[in-house]
């Protein structure tokens, strides 16, 4: 569910959460993390047919990005000194004014019981 208020702010309602074993903020190293998508029960009918697919796109809010990092305008990719200083929108950094992220992930169970 999305609403736009009178000032142009976009208000999103979460439809679920991502659960995994990660307990602390990390910049990198998510490639091997297995996560579980827990969708609110009211949205269960919207999942019908998903088991026929191998991947799904997940849009999520990076809620652990520190507020002060959201004001960063330029960054070196992966904080490497040998890389050029770039605007955050030209990188894959999580340090953005709105820490929204998108990831295409492989479905390995999709709630199947067999």
Q: What is the pLDDT of residue 41?
A: 96
Adjacent-strand bridge partners of 82: none
The ranges assigned to domains in the chain are 2-106
Q: What are phi and psi of 80, to 5 degrees?
A: -90, 125
pLDDT per position as a tens digit, 28-72: 667 778 889 999 999 999 999 998 999 999 998 888 888 898 889
pLDDT per position as a tens digit, 95-104: 888 888 888 9
- CATH tag for 2-106 (out of 3.40.980.10, 2.40.30.70, 3.40.50.1000, 3.30.70.2740): 2.40.30.70
């Amino acid at each position: 569910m999305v609403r736009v208020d009178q000032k142009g702010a976009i208000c999103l309602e979460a439809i679920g959460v991502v659960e995994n074993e990660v307990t602390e903020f990390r910049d990198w190293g998510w490639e091997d993390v297995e996560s579980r998508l827990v969708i609110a029960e009211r949205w269960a009918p919207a999942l019908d047919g998903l088991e026929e697919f191998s991947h799904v796109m997940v849009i999520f809010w990076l809620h652990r990005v520190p507020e002060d990092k959201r004001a960063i305008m330029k960054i070196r990719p992966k904080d490497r000194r040998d890389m050029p200083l770039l605007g955050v929108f030209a990188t894959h950094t999580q340090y953005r004014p709105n820490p929204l992220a998108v990831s295409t992930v492989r479905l390995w169970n999709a709630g199947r019981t067999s």
